[in-house]
Amino acid sequence: HGFIPLTTYLRTYKLGDYVDIKVNGAVHKGMPHKWYQGKTGRVWNVTKRAIGVEVNKRVGGRYLSKRIHVRVEHVQPSRCREEFLKRRASNDAARAAAKASGDKAPSTKRIPKGPREGFTLSLENTKIETITAIPYDIIKEGLQ
């Protein structure tokens, strides 16, 4: 599997960070169970070589909070909060600009994308064509 980049070991994790569990097959130590592959959790403990990750696991009909220790080679920072943080920053900037200009604070709620606009299909200057399947003849086409 090759060389592991140094950023894997030099990255700083803090309590509360979101991380993705992504198993590196080149390192067998500290490898999580296969169920945790691809799951996202929060850091609850940081040790010398490992990260304590809290993951919600569905068992039967309920969700249990599982706390596991995973070596840093099998963990990467999650991008799950990027959109939220960007949206929060833009909302705060819009609110501050409205306050500075004396306007009412703008609505910062996300609005779902509505249905597409309707249109009328014109059949003028359009030639209508009927399409049928060509029958398959095994004698002519199959024995070449």
Reported as a single tens digit per residue, the pLDDT across 83-105 is 999 999 999 999 999 999 999 99
Q: For residue 19, how many C-alpha atoms fall within 13 Å in the half-sphere facing its CB?
A: 33
pLDDT of amino acid 134: 83
- For residue 128, the model assigns a pLDDT of 83
pLDDT for 124: 86
- Helix ranges restricted to H, the chain: 7-10, 82-101, 138-141
Distance of alpha carbon 71 from alpha carbon 67, whole angstroms: 13
Q: Which residues of the chain have pLDDT under 70?
A: 1, 140-144
Residue 41 CB burial class (10 angstroms; 0-12, 13-18, ≥19): buried
